[in-house]
Amino acid sequence: MSGLLSGGNTDELVPPGWVKNPSAWGERLPIVGLALVGLAIATYLSLFQYEVIDTVWEPFFGDGSRTVLTSRLSNVLPVKDAALGALGYLLDAVTGVIGGTKRWRTMPWIVIIFGIFVGPLGAVSVLLVVAQPVVYGSFCTLCLTSAVISLAMIPPAVDEVLASFQDLRRMRQSGGNWWRYFWGLDSTPEAAGADTSVRMGT
């Protein structure tokens, strides 16, 4: 029965039924690059919020950036919101580079953690953008830029998440230990006890 898969897809980099490998460096490094640009912008804005610098670059909206960045909403938490944004981008970059090009099947846990950082954090940054004009009547150019960066990172990140989820679903269908597989403790489905001859959808 193991012959069904010898030399077959369990060692293949591209997930079954996919065109490309979502964990390939060519797919991931652009996301990491965007995260680093976001990190630079957020760090710059934190320097302004912590009064290390006393002006902020705002080419379009006059006082907009200053109003938004020094507002009460920015000060709700013990850490200024730009600094939290910088931490978010740093986490995106770090979890984006951990793991090799097979990580969608050998390390699903890091892929899902990466997806959690990129997706919901991106959504939060959008909500902050929505709040700016409604609450303060002004826009902040660099805040808008970083929201666009956060959104742009979402599609390239979630395809890896789908690949991992599909593999975990196959594990469940095949009776294997999907929990061990999720944590990368067993890197092939057979090692985790899956019966890979079970047809999906049965």
Partner 1 sequence: MWFQIASTVLGVWLMFAPAALDHVDTTLADFDRTIGPLVASVSFVAAAQISRSLRWLNLGFAAVLVVAPWFLDAPTVSQANSCVVALLVLALTPWGSPDQTRYGNGWTTLWRTEDLPEWNAPRASEDAA
Give residues in contact with partner 1 (CB under 8 A). Answer: 4-5, 8-10, 12, 14-20, 122, 126, 129-130, 133-134, 137, 139, 147-148, 151-152, 154-156, 158-159, 162-163, 165-166, 169-170, 173-174, 189, 194, 196, 199-201
- CA–CA dist 111, 123 (Å, integer): 18
State which residue, 133 or 184, has the beta carbon closest to partner 1. Answer: 133
Nearer to partner 1, 19 or 52 (CB): 19
Whole-number minimum distance, CB 97 to partner 1, in Å? 21
Nearer CB in complex with partner 1: 74/159 = 159
Task: Answer for the pair 165, 147: CB distance below 8 angstroms, yes or no.
Answer: no
Give the other-Cβ count within 10 Å of 186's Cβ: 20
Of 80 and 105, the one with the shorter C-beta distance to partner 1 is 105
State the nearest-atom distance from the C-beta of 201 to partner 1, in Å.
Answer: 3
DSSP for 99-120? S-TTHHHH-HHHHHHHHHHHHH
CB of 110 to partner 1, least distance (A): 19
User: What tokens appear for 87 in the block?
Assistant: 């931490």
Residue 113 and residue 95 in contact, taking contact as beta carbons nearer than 8 Å: yes
What whole-number distance in Å separates Cα of residue 94 and Cα of residue 48?
25
| Strand (E) or helix (H) holding 173 | helix 141-173
Q: How far apart are CB 121 and partner 1 at their closest, in Å?
A: 13
